[in-house]
Amino acid sequence: MVDKVDASTGHVRFDGVIKVRGNISDRYSVEGVRIEVGGTVGKSRLRSIGDIRVAQGIMGSMVQAGGSVLAQTITDAQVNAAENVVVYDYIINSKVNAGNNLDIPTHHGYAHGGTLQAGNLIRLPKVGPPEEFAKEEDEVEELPTHDHDHAGSRHFSRQQKTIQYAAGKHPK
């Protein structure tokens, strides 16, 4: 376990579990079997054959996991996970790809700007800037990957679906 990743530690590579109590500073890379970060991840590169868990935010980073990625927020980042991506607050201006599910499980969470992809399911409570839905009811929309209709869901003909959205524009 290290307190932080910065100039005092340099890049970190370990064939095991890497636990960082604090933050990972800009311009550093961390590679391990599993990565756990107690703080934030700056403009860095994280790579793991297993899961990556970030207690706070991923900001401007490139993240690649052979398992799942869990974080409080994702901003201006590229995140790829072979399994699931779970974000508790928001995804802003990011490219996120989940092999299975992409989920924002909280009712106050949202996604705004960027590209989201998932092999199975994308679940978002809200899409767009927060000021657009400040007075809307909390409603989670689930998007299926198959091409037959489900009551109240959208229709897709491709196995892997993509949502591209920009400021003030909702996917159709």
What residue type is assigned to position 129 of the chain? P
Q: Full-prediction pTM beyond 0.75?
A: yes
When mean pLDDT is compared across 17-26, 32-41, 113-122, 147-156, the lowest value belongs to: 147-156
Contacts by 115-119, CB closer than 8 A, 24 or more apart: 115/162, 115/163, 115/164, 116/91, 116/162, 116/163, 116/165, 117/160, 117/161, 117/162, 117/163, 118/85, 118/145, 118/160, 118/161, 119/145, 119/159, 119/160
pLDDT tens digits, 23-56: 999 999 999 999 999 999 999 999 999 999 999 9
Q: Which residue matches tokens 């790809």?
A: 97
Which tokens is 144 given?
Answer: 């299926």
